[in-house]
Amino acid sequence: MRIIITAISIIYLSFSLATLANTGKEKQIALAFGEGPVPGVTESLLQQLDALQIKATFFPVGMQMEQFPEQTRAIINAGHQLGNHGYSHINLAELPLSSAKEEIKKTCKLLQSHGYQERPMIMPPFGNISVELSDLLEEQEFQLAEWDLEPRLHVDMSEPESIADYVAENATDGSVVMLHPMYEHSEQIIEALPLISTQLHQQGFRFVTLAQIAESEKIENL
């Protein structure tokens, strides 16, 4: 009898856990890193993310991937998502369509040659892209990256606490935080990450990649 009751309890417990997972009590948030890779910062950033057990999304610049192949491969090998941020970090909307396409194409090939086999999301430099290019990418089933929280536009980036507080106060389910530690305020951003992680976990968030956020949105919009 006791065995049956135990078995029933186990089934009930598994059912409750499955229900909890399906009701979506857990909220999702993604960290995105633009620019780079640069030696030094890449290693510190990867180490920090590993310690926090966070998989993030990186948007390295093509030219810099060429210059720093070791750092590019380190990001890929750590299991993070990578996206396409163009080859020379130029405003794609101001280029003739053929040159803008070349910026994207060259960078896709670079990602592949470094061992990244997924279809990359596209983050146009400065968020600028022509309608023609955007339509063309959509036809080829490329996804454009979107984000809603960019601390550098709102707070003093020399204070890790301010960066973390901004994210913690403004995060909602499905938020994407854009940070540029490979460009400026490297130390402060890397220092802010454990603060962000702690505060967001307390609020019931789970860290995922941009691709996972996009996937959840697709399901939500069915």
Q: How many residues bind Zn ion (CB under 5 A)?
A: 2
Per CB under 5 A, which of residues 123..152 are in contact with Zn ion?
Answer: 125
Q: Residue 200: exposed, middle, or buried by beta-carbon count in 10 A (0-12, 13-18, 19+)?
A: buried
Q: Within 185-204, which residues bind Zn ion (CB under 5 A)?
A: none
Q: Please, which residue, 28 or 57, has the CB nearer to Zn ion?
A: 57
Token pair of 211 as six digits: 């691709």
Q: Phi/psi of residue 166, each to 5°?
A: -60, -45
Measured torsion, CA atoms of residues 112, 114, 117, 120, in degrees rounded to the nearest 10: -70
Quote the least distance from Cβ 35 to Zn ion, whole Å: 5
φ, ψ at 32 (rounded to 5°): -120, 140
Shortest separation between residue 144's beta carbon and Zn ion, angstroms: 14
Give whichever of 34 and 37 is closer to Zn ion, judged by the CB atom. 34
Q: HSE on the CB side for 51, CA within 13 Å?
A: 13
Give least dist CB 196 to Zn ion, A: 20
CA 122 to chain CA mean position, Å: 12
**Distance in Å, CB of 91 to Zn ion, minimum:** 10
86 part of the interface to Zn ion, by CB under 5 A: no
Distance from C-alpha of 165 to C-alpha of 162, rounded to nearest angstrom? 5
CB of 41 to Zn ion, least distance (A): 15
Q: Is 34 in the site for Zn ion (CB under 5 A)?
A: yes
Q: Which residues within the stretch 4-33 sit at the binding site for Zn ion (CB under 5 A)?
A: none
Closer residue to Zn ion, CB minimum distance, 83 or 160 = 83
Is residue 86 within 8 Å of 125, Cβ to Cβ?
yes
In one-letter notation, the amino acid at residue 37 is P
Q: Residue 86 or 160: which CB sits closer to Zn ion?
A: 86
Which residue, 125 or 181, has its beta carbon nearer to Zn ion? 125
Q: Does 62 bind Zn ion (CB under 5 A)?
A: no
Q: Which parts of this chain interact with Zn ion (CB under 5 A)?
A: 34, 125
